[in-house]
Amino acid sequence: MDIVICGCGEVGGHAAEVLAQQGHNITVIDQKALRLRKIEDTLDVRTLTGNCADASVLIEAGASRADLLLAATSSDEVNLLSATIAKGVGVEKSIARVHHRAYFDQRGIDYMHHLGIDQVICPEYSAALEIARTLRNPGALAIENFAQGRIEMQEFPVDPASKAVGKSLIDLALPSGSRLAAITRSGQAFIPKATTIIEPEDTIILVGNSQVFQDTRKIFRSRKELSRKKIVIMGGVSMAVWLCRNLLDRNFSV
């Protein structure tokens, strides 16, 4: 793939290193020539000194024919503008890294949609989501989130003391918006039917809307796990705000 990376800081430099090692054709843009010289000494990449938000610089870097542009400078605004301009000059896919929650929180303006960017990523949000889902889901073997956290998927063992054991799926009447996607029993995975009986040693994969997910999960877990937990968060940075939002009204006192 032909990839253009805007910004040669910690994130951009690391991305360039990983992607170059995978055999991709990498061009790195930065306004600081010293940063670019350092990366040229260690990696097989092309570099260009210039303003990432300048269309002529992006075109010179090959954005018009690139498969991907990753905007990872220290400025959210430059990243959003660079990713937008790159789409305008013809890049196949553009990704902007941001820190400020106003650019990522879709309860306000959806910048990704309005600016025509393919993806906006926020490290602080991702970290908060990871912390929250770990706290909410003790015992989970695997946790995945989709659609910016609106859809959740988990794999976890059925608690032998839960009310689900010995009942069929149709008897459990799972909340609307959730689905038991698979069961692993005695090392064999299968897709359950409405008449499938839940057994104590089952490991299940549950998929559902995050708003009802915890209510569904409670059916398969013990009462001890469901006791209300108290959490203290130090600091009021963006990550703390997102963490609070993910924990409130989900059996936590924050």
Tell me the per-residue pLDDT of 202-233, one tens digit each, with 9 for 90 and over: 999 988 887 777 778 888 876 555 555 777 88
Q: Topology of domain 126-253, per CATH? A: Alpha-Beta Plaits (3.30.70)
- The average confidence (pLDDT) of the chain is 86
Compute the distance between CA of residue 146 and CA of residue 140 in angstroms, rounded to an integer.
17
Q: How do the domains of the chain map onto residue ranges?
A: 2-121, 126-253
Q: Using CB atoms within 10 A of its CB, is residue 117 exposed (0-12), middle (13-18) or buried (19+)? A: buried
Return the CATH number of 2-121, one of 3.90.420.10, 3.40.50.1000, 3.40.50.720, 3.40.50.80: 3.40.50.720
pLDDT-based confidence at 140, cuts 50/70/90? Answer: low
Q: What is the pLDDT of residue 2?
A: 96
In b/e form, how buried is each residue of 205-219, taking b as 16+ CB within 10 angstroms?
bbbbbbeebbebbbb
pTM value surpassing 0.85: no
Q: What percent of the chain has pLDDT over 70?
A: 88
* Confidence band for 249, pLDDT divided at 50, 70 and 90: low
DSSP state for residue 63 in the 8-state scheme: G
Under 8 Å between Cβ of 158 and 140: no
The pLDDT value recorded for residue 148 is 59
Q: How far apart are CA 219 and CA 200, in angstroms?
A: 13
Query: For 189-202, b where at least 16 C-beta lie within 10 A, e where not — what string?
Result: eeebeeebebeeeb
Does residue 144 or residue 231 have the better pLDDT?
231
Contact in structure between 153 and 206 (CB atoms under 8 Å): yes
Helices 123-136, 238-247: inter-axial angle, 10-degree rounding = 30
- Strand 68-71 to strand 229-230: parallel, antiparallel, or no bridges (unpaired)? unpaired
Burial class of residue 150 (count of CB atoms within 10 Å of its CB; 0-12, 13-18, 19+): exposed
